Structure 1
Amino acid sequence: MRHVHFPAQRVAAAAGGAEGSPDAPARRIADKAPWYLPAAVGADFAGAAVPVGLVFEAAQQARPLYCALGAALAWVGVQALRRRYATRALGESRGVLPVVHDWLILIGVLAVARVLTGESTPRLAALGALLPALLVTVAHRKLTYRHLFAARREAQAVSRVLVVGEPAAADHVIAHLAARTDHPYVVVGVLPVGQGSPEGGVPVAGRLAARMPEALTEDSAAVLGAVRSHHADLVLVVPGARIAGERLRRVAWALHDEGLEMAVFPGLVEVSVKRLETVSAGGLAVLRVAPPVRRGAQTLLKAVLDRGAAAFGLLLLSPVFLALVLAIRLGSRGPAFYSQRRIGRDGVPFVMWKFRTMVVDADRLKSELSGANENDGPMFKMRRDPRVTRVGRLLRRTSLDELPQLFNVLTGSMSLVGPRPPLPEEVAEYDEVELRRLTVRPGMTGLWQISGRSDLSWDETIQLDLQYVDNWSFTSDVDVMGRTLRAVVDGRGAY
């Protein structure tokens, strides 16, 4: 297990929480930027009103201003009813599907209004006038998400969390939260249950007895006292043998009677919320986890997109292929293409194609450079690999060396999006967890490509691959492809 490095800002925030004052370095900052709500409402209103007004004016509709105002109010109303303007929702998602869902509801609402009012603008023109509302809302959510993500890297716009649980379990949760900044939680204190102390460096806010006390007030007083002294916004309980069932319910009563929030960690890691569903069985709250998507309409769409995009890409990029072939052949002796045996889905080997970026005897020289491997796992990576040619460095920096893999996508051995295909010698060192990344077809790009590439540790690479394997959806593939362009332009981790 790799060593966890706590983000400095969040460590400082946790330490500041012990000062006992809301104005300490880790003051309560759960509320987001005050401009989020007016900016969201304003963008949605203008994104609907302006295009509708212009289109209806051009179509010589009798009341373009009223139509524009009605469309804008309807769009804002739909989003308000769908709770898109709630504090918890603002900036938290940059997904496109929820916005499309809301937009389709808007179309339905305005279609009814059109019939009732007798509005006669051509249907296609009216629909086109509403399209900018969708695009503006998506763009605004992406910008707000990026702003919120950057703020949370500095421990701003976060919720102060008190963790309650047995020491070892609490340590696990605290370390996991502290190692990442893509979430709103900053741990300001821990309330261990039973003997032992957590080792994460977070202030201990008190202690609960190993067994449930007879008096209801004992646990309640300890938890509420810790919440007040550390100004916590949320109590995160890590259930275990010593805090579950009736005892957990009593803690919830105490918190809820004071108007405080409680969350329960179910023990699941890297499971998308889309796969989770809460159900009730005999009075028990049960968390249902749906299996990963492996068949159905979404997999069919993925296959169609892979083959269609690969064929179109090969046709469109044929002049680029020709230019790169000439550059490689003129830059160093040897063939322009490089083929290598890789391991694909379910462990089936295949031949992967790339543009050659190294000298012709690169595979033979690899053993001589094994001591210079900069990756902490079975994957070989070297920032200044002497085997890479001058043209090859440019191809790797721009990811153009990957283009011939479109042939692999077209033939079905690879996908546009998926984990990177490993070498046979790498797979030979895999454990049971790492082998799970082979349950899907490998891809030209993926979460690894857009998250730092070769700058990532082996554990981080595996974590991203397993996150993709377990939570795959067609829309996630589309999102990854969109973010790949930015990663290619940035070039970070490409060597």
Structure 2
Amino acid sequence: MGNGFVRNNINQFAVVYRFVDFLIIQLTLLAACSVFGVAIDVHYHLLGLIGSTTYLLSAELFWIYRSWRAGTSKELLFYTVVSWVVSAVIVLIYLFLTKTSEDYSRIAVVSWLFVAPLFLCAWRMAMRAFLYQVRAKGYNSRSVAIIGMNENAVALANELKRNPQTGFLLRGVYDDRELNRLAIPDGMTVEGNINDAVEAVQNGEFDQVFITLPMTANKRIEQVLHRLGDTNAEVHFVPNFFMYNMVHSRLCNVGNLQTISVFDTPMRGATTAIKRAEDIFLALCILTVIAIPMLIIAAAVKLTSKGPIIFKQNRYGVDGKKIKVWKFRSMTVTEDGDKVTQATKGDARITKVGAFLRRTSLDELPQFINVLQGSMSVVGPRPHAVAHNEIYRKTVKYYMLRHRIKPGITGWAQVNGWRGETDTVEKMQMRVQYDLEYIRNWSLWLDFKIVLFTFVKGFVGKNVY
């Protein structure tokens, strides 16, 4: 099982992906020109070069050329299309700025821009299906051993089982303790002690070893690592503190000292620019559509009750800094002090128009202006009133970690049913749990799913008053 023919050629294989992508982009442009009888000259060669170069760069930015063993097909296709959209936009900007669009056949260029991503996606799915078949026959796989039978090992084994497409095959779990002292779940067995595991690795029976011993057993871990250092197996240490609520952890360096960031933010470097570009694009598109409905709502609010049209409330933004969140006023009061009472069913403070706006979340529409201002995102943890923050940060574990990124108009908690009134600590705990899950797993693909789910089921909720 250790003879997977791609195992030691991951980098070279990624080079093949890049080359095929480059070839597809060039050939689809040539094919489009050929179909419509367009003579290919230096202008088309330059356009093809711009398209392929910008695609390869954007694909690198979205990590398309990493290993997709554990990634989903939908996610891979999504990032392939996004990378091509970025490339297409650059091509169109080039044509606009250089005023050379008249030098090209519009139908040929447009056909190329639509056909190229279809072939880029198709060849990836074909290659993915091929690799699945290869792994099903035992090739391109890794034989895995786990040292340490505990909660960490069970969680790791379950992940390997849930993701067979990774090609990681769990062949044995090892522990020095007596079997009657171990909590062994159904479907798992302990093959022997740690010495048996080391000997098996030395005999070439395993490609990868995961050490899940608790960090308190540091001496034993050091001994195991010393012995495994004399083998060719890849060795991974899975510390037990990863079982706790870590938020976007990553390796860091302080001089020559390596550290692990426990509570961090995914918004760094290029991801910050990607998230901001996403926010601006979505906010502008949505505001264009809802501009007239917002004017109608504003008139309805003004004509049916006394008070301002827009209610601006202090809330915590990224890093716990206060921001002013905009909403259509839906109540006869505008509470924003040390004590803010959440709306409840049949609340007398809610106006008739406000009740409709709150049930349908239309009162949140002005927050797209907050997004353009940069204080909010379209997708992120919902911001709470400052008074509520001060209450829940003392009662809900890890509550303030939800402020590691900008608050959003919609979020992972909302599309999973945790929106509206939080009249119990348990409800807020569930909301925070989903918020932290979003931060840990943030990606452009996850934002896309949340926006899609919001349109399907996220505007209304049984706990929204």
TM-score band, normalised by the shorter chain? 0.5 to 0.7
Give how far 1:441 is off. Answer: 3.1
Partner of 1:54: 32
Q: How big is each residue's C-alpha offset from its partner over 1:350-400, in whole Å with a ceiling of 9 and x where there is no partner?
A: 44333467x76899xxx9xxxxxxxxxxx9899xx5559998787567643
Q: What letter matches 1:245 in structure 2?
A: E
Q: What letter matches 2:392 in structure 1?
A: E
Give how far 1:54 is off. Answer: 2.0
Hey, what's the Cα distance between the residues in 1 that align with 2:125 and 2:310? 40
Q: How big is each residue's C-alpha offset from its partner over 1:252-310, in whole Å with a ceiling of 9 and x where there is no partner?
A: 756x5xxx76543255576769x5589xx8xx9x7876974667676577667757865
Partner of 1:491: 457
**CA pair 253-313 structure 1, distance change in 2 beyond 3 A:** same
**Secondary structure at 2:147 match in 1:** strand
Hey, what's the Cα distance between the residues in 2 that align with 1:199 and 1:418? 39
- For residues 236-255 of structure 1, the aligned pairs below 5 Å read 236-239=210-213, 240=215, 241=218, 243-251=220-228
Q: Does 1:344 align with 2:310?
A: no
Give how far 1:165 is off. Answer: 1.8
Partner of 1:428: 391
Hey, what's the Cα distance between the residues in 2 that align with 1:179 and 1:328? 54
2:403 to 406, 419, 438: 438
Q: Does 1:208 align with 2:193?
A: yes
**CA pair 451-251 structure 1, distance change in 2 beyond 3 A:** farther
**CA pair 415-483 structure 1, distance change in 2 beyond 3 A:** same
Q: How big is each residue's C-alpha offset from its partner over 1:307-357, in whole Å with a ceiling of 9 and x where there is no partner?
A: 786577546522111344567789x97879573745313444444333467
Q: How big is each residue's C-alpha offset from its partner over 1:457-490, in whole Å with a ceiling of 9 and x where there is no partner?
A: 7556435534665787xxx4x5455334311222
**CA pair 289-452 structure 1, distance change in 2 beyond 3 A:** same
**CA pair 294-342 structure 1, distance change in 2 beyond 3 A:** same
**Secondary structure at 1:354 match in 2:** strand
**CA pair 293-222 structure 1, distance change in 2 beyond 3 A:** closer
Q: What letter matches 2:198 in structure 1?
A: S
Residue range with higher mean Cα deviation, 419-428 or 484-493 = 484-493
Q: TM-score, normalised by structure 1?
A: 0.53
**Secondary structure at 1:491 match in 2:** helix
Give how far 1:59 is off. Answer: 1.5
**CA pair 457-180 structure 1, distance change in 2 beyond 3 A:** farther
Q: Does 1:135 align with 2:117?
A: yes
Q: What letter matches 1:353 in structure 2?
A: W
Partner of 1:465: 435
**Secondary structure at 2:174 match in 1:** strand
**CA pair 415-219 structure 1, distance change in 2 beyond 3 A:** closer
- For residues 32-47 of structure 1, the aligned pairs below 5 Å read none
Give how far 1:238 is off. Answer: 1.7
**CA pair 309-127 structure 1, distance change in 2 beyond 3 A:** same
Q: Does 1:163 align with 2:146?
A: yes
Hey, what's the Cα distance between the residues in 1 that align with 2:328 and 2:293? 12
Hey, what's the Cα distance between the residues in 2 that align with 1:187 and 1:321? 56
Q: How big is each residue's C-alpha offset from its partner over 1:133-184, in whole Å with a ceiling of 9 and x where there is no partner?
A: 663367559989999xxxxxxxxxx988653225354356567x49987995
**Secondary structure at 1:96 match in 2:** helix
Q: What letter matches 1:404 in structure 2?
A: P
Indicate conservation of the 8 Å contact 1:450/1:480, yes or no: no
Indicate conservation of the 8 Å contact 2:64/2:79, yes or no: no
Partner of 1:321: 294
Hey, what's the Cα distance between the residues in 1 that align with 2:230 and 2:112? 47
Q: What letter matches 2:393 in structure 1?
A: Y
Partner of 2:69: 88
Q: What letter matches 1:208 in structure 2?
A: N
Give how far 1:491 is off. Answer: 0.5
Q: How big is each residue's C-alpha offset from its partner over 1:63-98, in whole Å with a ceiling of 9 and x where there is no partner?
A: xxxxxxx99x999x999xx99597838856526389
**CA pair 489-470 structure 1, distance change in 2 beyond 3 A:** closer
**CA pair 428-166 structure 1, distance change in 2 beyond 3 A:** same
Hey, what's the Cα distance between the residues in 1 that align with 2:22 and 2:105? 21
Indicate conservation of the 8 Å contact 2:147/2:197, yes or no: no
Query: Unmatched 5+ residue regions in structure 2?
Result: 2-17, 42-48, 91-101, 130-140, 421-425
Residues matched between the structures, number:
392
Indicate conservation of the 8 Å contact 2:361/2:459, yes or no: no
Query: Unmatched 5+ residue regions in structure 1?
Result: 1-21, 23-39, 63-69, 108-120, 148-157, 368-378
Partner of 2:380: 418
